[in-house]
Amino acid sequence: MLTLKALHISLVVAWFAGLFYLPRIFVNLAMVPPDSVAERERLLLMAGKLYRFMTPLGVLAVATGLWLWFGYGFSGGWLHLKTTLVALLVIYHWHCGRLLKAFQSGSNARSHVWFRFYNEMPVLVLFAVVFLVVLKPF
């Protein structure tokens, strides 16, 4: 079980790296001047590759997390809250994919300021999840 737990933590760290960086690329994309086609294309290429890389990491992180949950049992309200927060992260990940498609089609209407706030959401969830896992408050 400890090997599985170590794998899960590593996958979560890798997935979060993508969840932190992809919206930062969106900030930069939202700031690209309309006449800077090469910069826009480079950022879109980076964002697309990152999204394709982080998606399997997220799937594996969730899968190993569920495996651990079933292996250790269904006890503790903290675990249910953590699972709810992870579900919100999955939705956030999916929404990042929708935002990427909007940038790719040229239909993004959000400002770089909006993306700066959007970029902070996974940080808040990470803090909450870590505190729940370590403290197990209920």
Q: What tens digit of pLDDT does each residue of 35-92 get?
A: 999 999 999 999 999 999 999 999 999 999 999 988 877 678 898 899 999 999 999 9
Helix (H) or strand (E) holding 13: helix 2-31
Residue 122 has pLDDT above 80, yes or no: yes
Counting the structural domains of the chain, the total is 1
Give the phi and the psi of residue 104 in degrees, each rounded to 5.
Answer: -65, -35
For residue 12, the model assigns a pLDDT of: 98
**Is this model's pTM higher than 0.75 or not?**
yes
Task: Quote the tokens at residue 50.
Answer: 């990152």
For residue 105, the model assigns a pLDDT of: 97
For residue 72, the model assigns a pLDDT of: 79
For residue 27, the model assigns a pLDDT of: 98
Maximum C-alpha span of the chain? 56
Residue 85 sits at the vertex; the CA angle it makes with 114 and 19, to the nearest 5 degrees, is 45
Q: Which residues contact 110 (CB under 8 A, 6 or more apart)?
A: 30, 99
Please state, in angstroms and as integers, the Cα–Cα distance from residue 16 to each residue in 30, 81, 91, 116, following that order. 22, 19, 14, 16
Average of per-residue pLDDT values in the chain: 95
For residue 67, the model assigns a pLDDT of: 94
- Alpha-carbon gap, residue 57 to 59, rounded angstroms: 5
- Alpha-carbon gap, residue 52 to 48, rounded angstroms: 6
Domain that holds residue 11: 2-135
